[in-house]
């Protein structure tokens, strides 16, 4: 039984000793105001520790690499490659949900490997899944990069779900743009016959309801920005260069596109093409998503800036209610043990001139956006 010291309190539980009285009052005030302070700071009981193992609410490491995030109401859904069994598509696309961005509940494998054609399962590739919502069809639309183990099939995959947690039903594998840019007959990617390759990708849903696929094409030499049809299930047709789609960063070999928008200007963070090895990021800005894009250079500063802090871009998440504030999301790949690859999330805050830098942080929380 707890030892109670009755001597300093009267029969109403109030201290009779003046020092004890003041102390008790302070404690009561602290108990009252502390939660308000925490809520205002945005801490809300969590923090991000980039590069450490991140556990889900069941205590298991989060398996959602090449992340993409969709906000539905007040719930965030994180989609990504489930690499529990290592490289290639041995499991499928997993989904986690959260209302605070710190605590993530595993919603399951929402596009299991069996859902995609056999060529893209097991030792096939299903990478960089992203989901957007089509307000007209009321469908959750997932696009991904599908490939064979040699990365020569290089196609987009499209799947539809009625709920953010799926299940997603596979629709098609395709190359959105089939124009011939002088491809060789013996091109292992068969671009002359099938069109431009589709590899590292992202989706961008614009304020006007139009959506775009942004992806590395032409054997990764050139990036494409392609407007989608009204259902978001393929490119807008007829495809017209410069009108419905565009070649950007021509011959610059960029991948890992992570787009975002602020005050009518489009931003696109990309990486160079060095397989699983990290390299320097670069960002570009445009007034029109189809270009022209003005390259600004590497936003990372400080130690390991030339290697994007040993990571590769995957997504930029707008911070709800904080214009100009975003979370930069990237993957720190461990190429010999891909299932152990880590998540690097860092604050991205635009300066008044529209530029930004990315700095390493061992740990941080959403209160960094509080003063913005
Ligand atoms: C780099 C890409 O960004 C990754 O998604 C993955 O395709 C690796 N290359 C494979 O080497």
H/E stretch holding 41 reads helix 18-41
What phi and psi, each to the nearest 5 degrees, are found at residue 38? -65, -40
CB 112 within 8 A of CB 97: no
Q: Whose CA is nearest to atom 11 of ligand 1?
A: 275
Enter the DSSP assignment of 204.
Answer: E
Q: CA dihedral defined by 104, 109, 110, 111, rounded to 10 degrees?
A: 140
Q: How many CB atoms lie within 10 A of CB 14?
A: 11
- Give 249 Cα–ligand 1 centroid separation in angstroms: 18
Q: Which of 275, 277, 308 to mutate to test the pocket of ligand 1 (most atoms within 8 A of CB)?
A: 275
CB 257 within 8 A of CB 273: no
Alpha helices (H) in 237-313, listed in sequence order: none
Say whether the peptide bond before residue 222 is cis (omega within 30 degrees of 0): no
Q: Which of 123, 127, 311 to mutate to test the pocket of ligand 1 (most atoms within 8 A of CB)?
A: 127
> What integer pLDDT is reported at residue 319 of this predicted model?
98
The residue-averaged pLDDT of 159-179 equals 98
Lowest mean pLDDT among 26-35, 42-51, 80-89, 139-148: 26-35
- Give 198 Cα–ligand 1 centroid separation in angstroms: 12
> Which tokens sit at 163?
């709920």
Q: How many CB atoms lie within 10 A of CB 236?
A: 19
CB 347 within 8 A of CB 327: yes
The residue-averaged pLDDT of 37-64 equals 80
CB 236 within 8 A of CB 228: yes
How does pLDDT run across 27-39, given as a tens digit for each residue?
344 334 433 333 3
Enter the DSSP assignment of 218.
Answer: T
- Give 224 Cα–ligand 1 centroid separation in angstroms: 17
Neighbouring-strand partners of residue 75 = 72
CA–CA separation, 206 vs 294, rounded Å?
A: 19
- For 61-369, which CATH class? mainly beta
The residue-averaged pLDDT of 269-273 equals 99
- Give 263 Cα–ligand 1 centroid separation in angstroms: 31
CA–CA separation, 306 vs 314, rounded Å?
A: 17
Name the most confidently modeled range: 23-37, 42-56, 78-92: 78-92
> What integer pLDDT is reported at residue 151 of this predicted model?
98
Enter the DSSP assignment of 216.
Answer: E
Exposure of 184 by Cβ count < 10 A (0-12 exposed, 13-18 middle, 19+ buried)? exposed
Q: Whose CA is nearest to atom 1 of ligand 1?
A: 275
Q: Residues 41-66, buried b or exposed e (16+ Cβ, 10 A)?
A: ebebeeebebeeebebeeeeebbbbb
> Which tokens sit at 196?
């431009």
pLDDT band at 229 (very low <50, low <70, confident <90, very high): very high
pLDDT band at 180 (very low <50, low <70, confident <90, very high): very high
H/E stretch holding 23 reads helix 18-41
CA–CA separation, 78 vs 108, rounded Å?
A: 11
């Amino acid at each position: 039984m707890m030892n109670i010291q009755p001597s300093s309190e009267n029969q109403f539980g109030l201290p009779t000793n003046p020092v004890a009285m003041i102390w008790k009052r302070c404690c009561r005030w602290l108990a009252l105001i502390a939660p308000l302070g925490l809520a205002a700071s945005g801490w809300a009981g969590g923090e991000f520790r980039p590069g450490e193992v991140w556990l889900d609410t069941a205590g298991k490491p989060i398996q959602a690499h090449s992340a993409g995030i969709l906000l539905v109401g007040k719930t965030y859904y994180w989609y990504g490659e489930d690499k529990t069994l290592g490289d290639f598509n041995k499991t499928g696309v997993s989904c986690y949900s959260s209302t605070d961005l710190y605590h993530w509940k595993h919603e399951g494998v929402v596009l299991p490997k069996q859902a995609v054609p056999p060529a893209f399962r097991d030792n096939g590739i299903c990478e960089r899944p992203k989901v957007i919502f089509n307000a007209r069809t009321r469908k959750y639309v997932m696009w991904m990069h599908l490939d064979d183990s040699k990365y020569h099939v290089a196609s987009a995959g499209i799947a539809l779900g009625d709920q953010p947690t799926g299940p997603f039903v596979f629709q098609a594998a395709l190359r959105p743009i089939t124009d011939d840019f002088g491809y060789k007959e013996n091109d292992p990617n068969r671009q002359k016959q099938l069109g431009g390759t589709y590899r590292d990708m992202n989706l961008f849903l614009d304020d006007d309801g139009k959506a775009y696929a942004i992806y590395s094409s032409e054997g990764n030499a050139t990036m494409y920005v392609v407007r989608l049809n009204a259902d978001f299930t393929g490119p807008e047709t007829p495809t017209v260069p410069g009108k419905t789609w565009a070649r950007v960063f021509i011959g610059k070999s960029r991948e890992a596109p992570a787009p975002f928008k602020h005050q009518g200007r489009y931003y696109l963070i990309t990486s160079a093409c060095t397989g699983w090895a990290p390299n320097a990021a670069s960002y570009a800005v445009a007034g029109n998503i189809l270009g022209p894009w003005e390259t600004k250079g590497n936003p990372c500063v400080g130690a390991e800036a030339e290697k994007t802090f040993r990571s590769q871009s995957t997504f930029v998440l707008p911070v709800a209610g904080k214009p100009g504030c975003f979370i930069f999301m990237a993957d720190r790949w461990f190429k010999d043990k891909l299932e152990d690859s880590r998540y690097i999330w860092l604050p991205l805050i635009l300066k008044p001139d529209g530029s930004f830098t990315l700095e390493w942080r061992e740990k941080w929380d959403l209160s960094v956006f509080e003063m913005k």
